[in-house]
């Protein structure tokens, strides 16, 4: 079955620096991944997604890279801001009757230091 995992549970970076959060997956047939941001006391919020026919996808200050050879994806946040402090999850959807069922990784807590 699907499983996603993260290399590090915590990450601290200086405000203005770039951050990279990593995620590994085990199923070589996996074809779609989503990154979520969860702020304290809130539910997860969609950041960006990527399909397996892409190696890279960019959003506003965020880039996701997918390496299918080693089954690894990363989330890069440029010029980090205090508001980027949160827990970040990679998630892999499966499908049931057309509904998206998410399998979440453990999460990485990102702390932005002033």
- When asked if residue 99 is in the footprint of other proteins (CB under 8 A), the reply is yes
HEC profile of the chain: CCCEECCCCEEEEECCCCEEEEEEECCCCCCEEEEEEECCCCCCEEEEEEECCCCEEECCCEEEEEECCCCEEEEEECCCCHHHCEEEEEEEEEEECCEEEEEECCCEEEEEEC
Q: Decide if residue 9 touches other proteins (CB under 8 A).
A: yes
- Which of 25, 30, 33, 44 binds other proteins (CB under 8 A)? It is 44
- Does position 114 interact with other proteins (CB under 8 A)? The reply is no
* Closer to other proteins by Cβ: residue 56 or 101: 101
Asked if residue 69 binds other proteins (CB under 8 A), the reply is: no
CB of 38 to other proteins, least distance (A): 9
Residues in touch with other proteins (CB under 8 A): 9, 34, 41-46, 49, 89, 91, 96-107
């Amino acid at each position: 079955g699907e499983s996603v995992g993260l290399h590090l549970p915590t990450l601290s970076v200086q405000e203005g620096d770039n951050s990279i959060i990593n995620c590994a997956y085990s199923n070589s047939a996996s074809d779609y991944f989503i990154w979520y941001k969860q702020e304290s006391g809130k539910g997860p919020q969609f950041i960006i997604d990527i399909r397996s026919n892409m190696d890279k996808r960019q959003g506003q200050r965020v880039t996701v890279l997918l390496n299918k050879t080693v089954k690894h994806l990363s989330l890069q946040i440029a010029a980090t801001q205090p508001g980027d402090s949160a827990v970040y999850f990679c998630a892999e959807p499966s499908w049931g009757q057309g509904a998206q069922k998410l399998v979440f990784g453990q999460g990485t807590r990102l702390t932005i230091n002033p």
